Structure 1
Amino acid sequence: MSPAIMLAILVLAVIGMPLFAVMGTSAVVNFWRAEIDFQAVIIEFYQLASKPMLQALPLFGFSGCLLAQSKAPQRLLRLSKAILGWLPGGMAVVCVVACAFLTAFTGASGITIVALGGLLLPALEKDGYGRQFSLGLLTTSGSIGLLFPPSLPVILYGVVSGVSIDALFRAGLLPGVLLVAVLALYGIWWGWRRKLPRSQFSVRELRGALWDARYEIPLPLLVLGGIYGGWLAISEAAVVAAVYVLIAETLLYRDVPLRRLGPIARETAILTGGILIILGMALALTNYMIDADVPGQLFEFAQGRMTSRFAFLVLLNLFLLGVGCMIDIYAATVLVVPLILPIAAEFGVHPTHLGVIFLTNLAIGYVTPPVGLNLFIATIRFREPILKLYWSALPFVVLLLIVLGCVTYIPVLSLFALPGN
């Protein structure tokens, strides 16, 4: 790929040309210059459509959109508060757990901030948390559920990289728990240090919250138990989740009237259709890059400047944090993963471990100043200046970076749950 073409691609992307058009144009131009038949692009779309695990994307996307449109966030918040609210900093723990759960099912941390922000911010402030702490906690908690099933970014990474999606979910479980735990423990410490009042544990309230969420409590058990127990493939778990959520929210709770299913399905189609068309164009461009030995050239460049696996991982984290700040996680996955996968393999990084590193970086990149996407979503949602969001999020980002370091340099945290490890 010539420097002029690369520069033109970057300019088109910066001025707002749709990403699928940028990548598709780039692929076609490069195929033309290399005298490769344009049908290669069509072949990539056919191969993409024939992957059975791709069925999970629209089904899990539909489940997440349906949950976000129902009163499930309110029921989840009530249940979390009934279970955890008695702890020091209990409301902060509730916030972290509720956000992680909703993000795992929607696959979009911005949706979590919009859906739960209006409920949780007043609740945190009412319990005595400062506005700056509350803003930082809500903004950063929105992205820490991306490693848990049935997260769409994990499924997409598996499709692009060829790594088993089941293995990715197993590998991401402990790192995901660590991300949740570090923010929850910080919230507990904050509440204990400031002697904030705790809510009284009430068996009656817990019983009421459990009854209120009685149809939603089995959902994570079905999905997680099915995947981790080996009873359900990813695509089968997606079908179970979609059917279960549809019955629960439309027929049992009746939160979502049947006339709303059309707009929700349309919203799901826009989300997953956008991902798929970008993915098809990106795979065509990636195949050209592989034929042109771009990964090999990048490895030679990296090998000449990095002599150790440690140095490679340091630079990889810095690069991915920057990517996470500026590019949506779905676009970043299809653009970056095919390039870094062979380089990481040369440095001895397990492909499943690389997936956890990649997704953790991009989750943190969403909230990393100055251009993390969730910072701007939070600015609009909470009507606060962006500089205030920077300072609010900074302590939480530092904690998440500590977990990132552990995940990167202690591979057993990701690989211990894989068969044969």
Structure 2
Amino acid sequence: MTFFLLLGALIVLLWLGMPMFAALFLLPLGVLFWVEGAVPALGEMVIGKLDGYLLVAIPLFMLMAHIMVRGRVVDDLYNAAFALLRGVRGGVGIATVLACTVFAAISGSSVATALTIGKIAIPQMLRYGMSRQGAFGVVAGGGTLGILIPPSAPMVLYAYVTETSVAALFLAGLVPGLLMALMFAAYCFVTEGKAKVPADEPVPDSVQVALMRAGWSLSLPIFVLGGIYLGVFTATEAAGTGTIYALLIAALIYRTLTWRDMLQGVQEATRTSAMLLMIIAGAAIYGYMLTKLQVPQELTQLVADFGLSRTEFLIAMMVLLFLLGLVLESFSIILLTMPAILPLLGVLDIDKVWYGILLTLSLEMALISPPVALNLVVIKAITGAPLAEVNRSILPYMLMLAFGTAMLIAFPEIALWLPRVAGYGG
């Protein structure tokens, strides 16, 4: 019960308005001082946790996405998807799912995916007869693909915390991500049959022209992910070379990236990365506290006492992660839970790559679960719609994500097949 008491105390501090990094520093320091009468040497602990080459990939992937967005390179993604699917039943919704899927392979962020595609797609969907709830829901749901389809910033953090192969995690996310995209598209096809472009409306661009214009956007994920999977460079090197590649596209080919855009992108990536690094530093002390209080051993004994099977444990964890997602964001959930949960994965013979994808699916549900539902806040900001109306739009997508999680628990090979074929074990 110690883990849940500490977690509850942390949530109370956050509810009182304390920043996450401050709560992660102060709570464990207070507990350690109370239990042991002293506090550890913080400097060595924090520096040791932050001194990780893999962590450099996170701000670089963020900057790569900012360059593509601010250079307006990704605008052609939706236009190409729209041209390709405009005459299909529910085609405007399906085009949004397709655009979210491709942009997810560029951004690594669900919020960025929902914001970027939503600004372009929502007016188009409403114009061509899609219901308001349908339009809001498909952007919120499609946006969650940003952290499941690689590259994914939460996956990079999970790989760092658990010492798991980033390439294996990226490969493991591909099939579940595409399956979720297929489910979202099928839902649009069934429920939004009237949402398509009239046959007599003039075509702005042919499919061939639209696809050619989107070619540079499509080439970026192929360049980055192909380089990782072929062993040309590591995840961190891929993030660096991908950022340079994005800069060349936006500045030299499109010629739409200004110095001001570049500066703003760097500032935003730096701000987000600094926040994350402070949380990681606090999580190092939090994890030390859990170890000193023997919380992992306590949880292991609790699982043994209840006689939980692997499947029962995973279901319980998915419920816990969903509940945490109601009040915490994805990075914090990974850093708070993994120090205590990681030893249990070995005890129950749960593959770390498999669990990482299950964790990511739970984080996706958290991104569209009120009250802390960042994707929904983004949609409200784009449209000005009441948050209550936006909230009602996400129930079908939460159910589909829950179904996808259940499928992955029942059939681990959905995630593990591709990494094993590629020789990463898993």
Q: TM-score, normalised by structure 2?
A: 0.90
- Contact kept in structure 1, 2:101 and 2:146, CA below 8 Å: yes
Cα 1:133/1:353, change in 2 over 3 Å: same
Q: Which residue of 1 aligns with 2:267?
A: 266
Aligned partner of 2:402: which letter? Answer: L
Distance apart, 1:108 and its partner CA: 2.9
Q: Which residue of 1 aligns with 2:76?
A: 75
Structural mapping, 1:365-376, within 5 Å: 365-369=366-370, 371-376=372-377
Q: Which residue of 2 aligns with 1:141?
A: 142
Q: Which residue of 2 aligns with 1:87?
A: 88
Cα 1:24/1:250, change in 2 over 3 Å: same
In 2, Cα distance between equivalents of 1:6 and 1:203: 54
Q: Which residue of 1 aligns with 2:343?
A: 342
- Contact kept in structure 2, 1:370 and 1:390, CA below 8 Å: no
In 1, Cα distance between equivalents of 2:334 and 2:413: 23
* Structure 2: stretches of 5+ with no match in the other structure: none
Q: Which residue of 2 aligns with 1:34?
A: 36
Structural mapping, 1:39-50, within 5 Å: 39=41, 41-50=42-51
Distance apart, 1:30 and its partner CA: 3.8
Cα 1:351/1:3, change in 2 over 3 Å: closer
Q: Which residue of 2 aligns with 1:130?
A: 131
Structural mapping, 1:10-409, within 5 Å: 10-32=11-33, 33-34=35-36, 38-39=40-41, 41-192=42-193, 194=194, 196-197=196-197, 205-369=206-370, 371-409=372-410
In 2, Cα distance between equivalents of 1:381 and 1:306: 48
What do residues 171-209 of structure 1 show as CA deviations (whole Å, max 9, x unaligned)? 1111111111110111222344x4845669989622322
Aligned partner of 2:343: which letter? Answer: P
Identity of aligned residues (%): 26
What do residues 197-246 of structure 1 show as CA deviations (whole Å, max 9, x unaligned)? 56699896223223323433321110121122222210111111110111
In 1, Cα distance between equivalents of 2:325 and 2:7: 20
What do residues 258-317 of structure 1 show as CA deviations (whole Å, max 9, x unaligned)? 233222211111111111111122022202212321011122223333532222122111
Q: TM-score, normalised by structure 1?
A: 0.91
Two-structure CA RMSD over aligned residues (Å): 2.6
In 1, Cα distance between equivalents of 2:75 and 2:4: 52
- Contact kept in structure 1, 2:29 and 2:39, CA below 8 Å: no
What do residues 240-259 of structure 1 show as CA deviations (whole Å, max 9, x unaligned)? 11101111112221212123
Higher mean alpha-carbon deviation, 375-384 vs 242-251, is at 375-384
Higher mean alpha-carbon deviation, 28-37 vs 319-328, is at 28-37
Higher mean alpha-carbon deviation, 215-224 vs 109-118, is at 109-118
Cα 1:196/1:62, change in 2 over 3 Å: closer
What do residues 342-371 of structure 1 show as CA deviations (whole Å, max 9, x unaligned)? 223322211111100001111122113565
Aligned residues: 419
SS of the residue corresponding to residue 216 of structure 2 reads: coil
* Structure 1: stretches of 5+ with no match in the other structure: none
